[in-house]
Amino acid sequence: MTYAFEVDGSTVTNTITNNSGSDLACGTSLAPAPGGVLPPVWEVVGNGQSLYSTDDGGQIGISTQHVTEIPAGTYVALASCGTEGV
């Protein structure tokens, strides 16, 4: 698995390359990181998170997920994939 993040205006695109041989379920999340200080991981993926995408991503090969309408600021991005729900 590889993840490649790209920013264009208020959108973050995560290009996911899955060479595992199996379809996976993936998610991409963002959380504010003011001053470059990383938040606890639960703030990135926990309940109430609104800056995320679970668009179809994780199929064998290359797929993308988009997080849109991101307010101005400094953020940390986290992507993960797994087999649950596939």
Catalogue all structural domains in the chain, each as residue range(s) with its CATH number.
2-82 (2.60.40)
Nearest-CA neighbor of 29 among 53, 12, 1?
53
Q: Which pLDDT does position 10 carry in this prediction?
A: 96
Tokens of 79: 């992507």
For the chain, 86 residues long, give each residue's pLDDT as a single digit of tens. 999 999 999 999 999 999 999 999 999 999 999 998 888 888 887 777 789 998 888 899 999 999 999 999 999 999 999 986 65
Q: Which pLDDT does position 36 carry in this prediction?
A: 86
Q: Which pLDDT does position 42 carry in this prediction?
A: 82
Q: Which pLDDT does position 85 carry in this prediction?
A: 64
Nearest-CA neighbor of 30 among 13, 51, 12?
51
